[in-house]
Amino acid sequence: MKIICIGLNYSDHAREMGKPLPREPLVFLKPDSSLLKKNKPFFIPAFSGNIHYEAEIVLRICKLGRSIAEKYASRYYDSITLGMDMTARDLQSSLSAAGKPWEIAKSFDGAAPLGEFISLDEAGDVNNISFRLEKNGKTVQKGNTSLLIFSFNSIISCVSRFFTLKTGDLIFTGTPSGVGPVNRNDRLTGYIGDRKVIDFMIK
Ligand code: ZN
């Protein structure tokens, strides 16, 4: 399986990063070795002194498809959860300043903690899903999918022009503003609506 991620997909986050709004989805991948499931702890890697959390709605692909038209895209995912696009911000900044790919800053082991999936029925209107992340019990990120620059359907349509989507593939759809650093013994808890879907420790 593969993990497809979309960067800068909320304008408030693009603003906090000092980046212009993308005209096309900004796409990168994480390998399956970055997955961290079942609320297992995240271990801060030795190569970074500045790991950030980014809470994102994640789609689970349920059907094989390529070059999917936007009007049919909603048939290609069947459940959602919250995932963390853990980012070695120091590595990402230095690599991108040097004009190099920053893939390793987001694709290292454990860089994709993944919550428990909920069905689309439970999630409600996919264009109006609110979610939030708490760090040590304090809300640090709040988002709503009505504020996405590229909707779920438009993301699926766009990325399937380049990658065949397969059952079990995941799409991280971007993070709202409020990203920030984690330290040892922090606890991250994420909610879709009022439902807790992820809850893990930083070690
Ligand atoms: Zn992200």
pLDDT in tens, 52-69: 999 999 999 999 999 999
63 alpha carbon – ligand 1 mean position (Å): 24
6 alpha carbon – ligand 1 mean position (Å): 6
Nearest residue to 141 via CA among 83, 203, 56, 198: 56
70 alpha carbon – ligand 1 mean position (Å): 22
> For residue 101, what are the domain limits?
3-201
Alpha-carbon distance of 17 to 37, in angstroms, equals: 28
CB-hemisphere CA count at 13 Å for 23? Answer: 0
As a residue count, the chain comes to 203
When pLDDT is averaged across residues 12-34 and rounded to a whole number, the result is 94
DSSP assignments along 126-162, one per residue: GGG-EEEEEETTEEEEEEEGGGBSS-HHHHHHHHTTT
64 alpha carbon – ligand 1 mean position (Å): 24
The pLDDT value recorded for residue 94 is 97
The residue assigned the tokens 């359907």 is 153
Q: Assign residue 186 the CATH number of its domain.
A: 3.90.850.10
83 alpha carbon – ligand 1 mean position (Å): 9
7 alpha carbon – ligand 1 mean position (Å): 5
pLDDT in tens, 162-177: 999 999 999 999 999 9
pLDDT in tens, 75-116: 999 999 999 999 999 999 999 999 999 999 999 999 999 999
Please count the structural domains in the chain.
1
H helix runs in the chain, sequence order: 11-16, 89-97, 104-107, 120-123, 152-159
pTM: 0.97
